[in-house]
Amino acid sequence: AREQTVRRGPKEIRSRGRAVTTADYVLLAPRAPGASIARAHAVAGLHPAHPGLPVPGVVGVFVVPPDRGEPPPTPDQESLRSVARYLSSEVAPAGVEVVAAAPRYHLVRVEAQVVIDRAADPSTVVRRVVEMLDTYLHPLTGGESGQGWPFGGPLRYVPLVQRVLGASDSIRAVTRLDFVVDGVRVPPCRDYTLSPNSLIWPEGHEVIAEQERAT
């Protein structure tokens, strides 16, 4: 959002700045005094308020605060000001404008149906699958690395089916798995490409567990 963007001009950048790559901004953003930052993502030439327009001399830094149970985790204005100020004065080379902003979140609901052992408790299996989905799709604990869903990383159908299968030893098959992104259902068995530099927030999964039938 426009009101979540804080800008610091080149006049505040000192000549001692030594940033060489965007990784420097990512590494140092959590060190900003007074800021509560768990994760950052930097893009050269991107102004968060104008994502479709390349802007030379600008580094856009998206920041994610710790998850305090108020979805999705969004930085406050003071944290954004602190990150922009710190990166401008301590990291950015002269002539570079640092812009700090909150990331865009896509709300994702997974609808799944699984077949489980006859002896398994359906409610227990459902709980484990939902917990796995919430963890795997989370901006701070998600992704294959467990270090947070990658910024702009696509939702992939096959890996998610494999994750559901592995959520419980009692699961024998995944008979249905659908994505609903921002209220829109994705066609079956398809991957989904997020908007660039965005994240996922898992919300309201629907999981049905049916026991195997006797043969």
pLDDT over 70 (residue 122): yes
- Name the more confident of 14 and 45: 45
As a whole number, mean pLDDT of residues 151-170 equals 96
| Structure token pair of residue 53 | 């327009």
- Least confident piece of the model among 47-56, 99-108, 140-149, 165-174: 47-56
| Helix extents (H) in 59-119 | 77-90
Q: How far apart are CA 24 and CA 39, in angstroms?
A: 13
Q: What is the mean pLDDT of residues 21-40?
A: 91
Selected residue with higher pLDDT from 21 and 202: 202
Q: Indicate the pLDDT class of residue 113, thresholds 50, 70 and 90.
A: very high
pLDDT, residue 18, reads 55
Burial class (CB within 10 angstroms; exposed 0-12, middle 13-18, buried 19+) of 49: middle
Q: What pLDDT is attached to residue 150?
A: 97
Going by pLDDT thresholds of 50, 70 and 90, the confidence category of residue 12 is very low
d(CA 102, CA 139): 12
Predicted pLDDT of residue 197: 95
- How far is CA 82 from its chain centroid? 21
Residue linked to tokens 């079956």: 188
pTM of the entire predicted model: 0.86
- 167/148 Cα distance (integer angstroms): 18
pLDDT tens for each residue of 174-203 = 999 999 999 999 999 999 999 999 999 999
| Among 74, 73, 72, CA closest to 182 | 72
Residue 56 reports pLDDT greater than 60 = yes
